[in-house]
Amino acid sequence: EKPASGSSTEAETALSVYNSFPNKLPCKPIWAVGENYRFEPAFVESSKLMDDIGDMMNIQVIVEGSMNSSNPYFNSSWRRNFVGGFILDMGVHFIAGLRMLVGSEVATVSSISRHVDTDLPPPDNICSLFQLENGCAGVLVFAVKSRSPKILWRVDGTKGTVQIERGVDGGKHGYQVLFSNESGECQKTFYPFCGVHEELKAFVHDMVQASKAEPRSSYVEGARDVAVLEAMLESSAKQGAMVQVKKF
């Protein structure tokens, strides 16, 4: 289950232990991390549209969460006990979606976090400026608890725009994908949630084939999500100083 670890140090230790096992299967267990966002069709299909929007100019990730005492995850102690609380526990999903969509790693971050709602573990709000390895910059605005929940990823390019927004269509929960092309035409496609089913199906396939974990399920991918959030929290502790994201 995500997050892959509570810190990059824990992830490094875990990877070191795993890598010490013999490579020959079945001696070496198939190790996967449950991160359904990398398996959601909305992200899989939207990533294929990125070449059509030209050079990336800017990125927005807006998360106005709905975490409160009525949420079944609210009283789950292990979700609250990370350094970073729900920002880390929930945040890895949104970073996984970002990385899946843009196809480039986050290189540096500069962030400010706050603790506003004392019912939630600190921090419960974070604003971050980040830069990808390809040079494109973006912003992440993340509130754990909001009166008007909203979750979206938006990438503006020289030839178009791709946006993924969580929503409901025909009674089904999922993601609305908007693709605007160079001529200004907007294509809308709704993808119902099915990432959990797809990731479990991939894991079963890996076991049947006695192969390595599907790359999207690999522990390293989960560790990279954690590293981005950890860098954001570190930057906030340093009053917004720029921090390099640890590489895995």
> What are the tokens at 7?
């810190």
CATH number at residue 153: 3.30.360.10
Give pLDDT tens digits for 105-121: 999 999 999 999 999 99
pLDDT of 50: 97
What's the chain's average pLDDT? 94
Which pLDDT value is given to residue 74?
87
Q: Is the pLDDT of residue 14 over 70?
A: yes
* pLDDT at site 227: 98
The CA-based dihedral angle spanning residues 84, 7, 231, 156, taken in that order and rounded to the nearest 10 degrees:
-90
For the segment 34-51, the average pLDDT, to the nearest whole number, is 97
Question: Is residue 23 predicted with pLDDT exceeding 90?
Answer: no
Q: What is the pLDDT of residue 25?
A: 63
244 occurs within a structural domain: no
List the domain range (segments joined by +) for residue 233: 8-238
Its pTM stands at: 0.95
The C-alpha atoms of residue 217 and residue 91 are separated, in whole angstroms, by: 17
Q: Is residue 224 part of a domain?
A: yes
* pLDDT tens column, 59-108: 999 999 999 888 888 888 877 777 899 999 999 999 999 999 999 999 99
Structural domain contains residue 246:
no
pLDDT for 27 equals 66
Q: What token pair was written down for 234?
A: 């570190």
- Please report whether residue 1 resides in a domain: no
Report yes or no on 185 lying in a domain.
yes
The single-letter code of the amino acid at 15 is L
Angle (CA) 87-6-122 rounded to 5° is 35
Instruction: Name the domain count of the chain.
Output: 1
Q: Residue 64 phi/psi, 5° resolution?
A: -115, 95
Domain assignment present for 205: yes
Q: What percent of the chain has pLDDT over 70?
A: 99
Helix 219-237 × helix 85-102 angle, to 10°: 120
3 state DSSP class of 115: coil
CB 22 within 8 A of CB 28: yes
What pLDDT is recorded for position 63?
98
What per-residue confidence (pLDDT) applies to 73? Answer: 84
Region for residue 211 given its phi and psi (left: phi exceeds 0; alpha: psi -120 to 50; beta: otherwise): beta
The mean pLDDT of 225-244, rounded to a whole number, is 98
Distances (CA, A) of 107 to 14, 205, 227: 23, 33, 10
pLDDT bracket for residue 136 (50, 70, 90):
very high
* Type and span of the H or E element at 107: strand 106-114
Q: With cut-offs at 50, 70 and 90, classify the pLDDT of residue 26.
A: low
pLDDT tens digit string along 165-217?
999 999 999 999 999 999 989 999 999 999 999 999 999 999 898 888 899 99
| Residue 72: per-residue pLDDT | 84
Token code pair at residue 91? 């945040």
